Amino acid sequence: MEKSLFDKYGGFSVVSKIVLDLYDRLLDDDDVGPFFDEIDMARIVDHQTKFVSSLMGGPASYTDDQIRKMHAHLEIHQRHFDKLQSLLRATLADHGVAPEDQAAILAAFEARRNLVTE
- Of 70, 67, 68, which is closest to residue 55 (Cα–Cα)? 67
pLDDT for 19-47, tens place per residue? 999 999 999 999 999 998 888 999 999 99
pLDDT for 90-114, tens place per residue? 999 999 999 999 999 999 999 999 9
Residue count (the chain): 118
Mean pLDDT in residue range 55-72: 92
